[in-house]
Amino acid sequence: MTRISVYDTAMKEKRVFTPADPRRITIYVCGPTVYSRAHIGNFRPEVTFDVLRRLLTHVYGKGVVVSARNYTDIDDKIMARADAEGRTIEQVTAQSEGWYEADARALGCALPTFAPRATETIAEMIAMMETLIAGGHAYAAEGHVLFDVAADTDYGAISHRDLEQMIAGSRVEVAPYKKNAHDFVMWKPSADHQPGWASPWGRGRPGWHLECSAMIAKHLGETIDIHGGGQDLIFPHHENEAAQSRCAHKGAPLARYWMHNGFLSFGKDKMSKSEGNIVTVDALLAAGHRGETVRMAMLTAHYRQPLEWNDDLLKQAKSTLDRWYRVIEGAAGDVDGDAVDEGVVDAIANDLGTPAAMARLSELASAGDIAGLRASAGLLGLLQDDPAAWRAGEGDRGDIDARVAQRNAAKAAKDWAAADRIRDELAAEGIILEDGPQGTIWRRA
């Protein structure tokens, strides 16, 4: 069997991956707070861990990987946007979720096994807090529930910083109801005009860190194989997740491996909504780029390294894909098959070494190993389109799927004008939509 190794943030080293149960490999990746459209930097973990899922499926078999990626659908930013636009929270989150899934599909990412929402996991969060309070790891104060960091002797095991360093490097809310400044909120009270749920500590809503711990336990189990996300989540989010879950589950670790991807940036600056320097997937598609080109560009750098986003990156990705598709289109006979090249597998199995895998794909193209090229590229989610359609520029199914999902999101948000506009634009391109009880399907006229 192929030996897979991944860099474990908690252990600060590359480790051979051995699942607890090779028949059920569990992965959790932190998802978006659904208050607006996600930018392409938000999709780097989506693409990174989609490649990991493809690799694990190739090595261990179909149906083995069980994954979850959450939606934080209750948050102050969501509430603020709903108030500002005169919409309900549900309308805001439904639209943003629809955008996210449309963009993920456009990038060739399979949807996870579970996509839980915070608002659907309130009962599990309350139960976890009750367990933590009973065990002396949390306390209630003035309608809040807080985690007592001093009660967890392993706090800091993920980020490898002592407590004072972590406090100095983060925004710590100092409040009179805290025992210590570094204790973090798991539950907070809601005003009458704010959404809230009944709890033993009064009507309120959950803190961000608690949500993921409860969702993981509910859908995947107390200890999962791999927990993933962006490197900005290492502290405080993942540190706090690990502490809550460990203390709630009698010392059982939350994850056996922790993986984190690097940032996408514009020049020296991290891509960030707060900085206003973002690019969205739908904007790239509207500019004429294909989802596969964007995916290819995101995979050209190793996932743990920073990646500077620019037009040259996209041009190079498209040029490479054009060349590979020309090689496939010019081949005689059957170009499909399952002849996955071991060199490509080994590159990806070495801590998701996508640059090395792409170099090997270029060698296969040059050598005329067309079946190997196409089958192996599938591990990266590439070269899955029809070559003639790629050349003609008419076969980007991911783009069509993404726009259909955008229309569905607009309908969920009761934005009928946007839904009709998308339908009419597709119709003008010869794409007919058919709405039915199982959802929307499309066909060419």
Return binding residues: 30, 212, 237, 241, 273
Count of C-beta atoms within a 10 Å radius of residue 77: 14
Host H or E run for residue 130? helix 122-134
Do 336 and 385 meet the contact criterion of CB atoms below 8 Å apart? no
The 269-270 sheet, strands edge to edge: 269-270, 264-266, 307-308
Helix boundaries (H) for 249-332? 281-286, 291-299, 311-329
Alpha carbon dihedral 252, 188, 101, 228, in 10-degree steps, equals: -30
Binding site feature residues for ATP: 273
Q: Which residues contact 316 (CB under 8 A, 6 or more apart)?
A: 297, 300
**Does the bond joining 19 to the residue before it have cis omega, within 30 degrees of 0?**
no
Q: Residue 259 half-sphere exposure, CB side, CA atoms within 13 Å? A: 27
Count of C-beta atoms within a 10 Å radius of residue 150: 13
How far, in Å, CA of 39 to CA of 37, rounded?
Answer: 7
**Beta-strand runs (E) in 292-421:** 307-308
Burial class of residue 173, CB neighbours in 10 A (0-12, 13-18, 19+): exposed
How far, in Å, CA of 259 to CA of 8, rounded?
Answer: 6
Binding site feature residues for Zn(2+): 30, 212, 237, 241
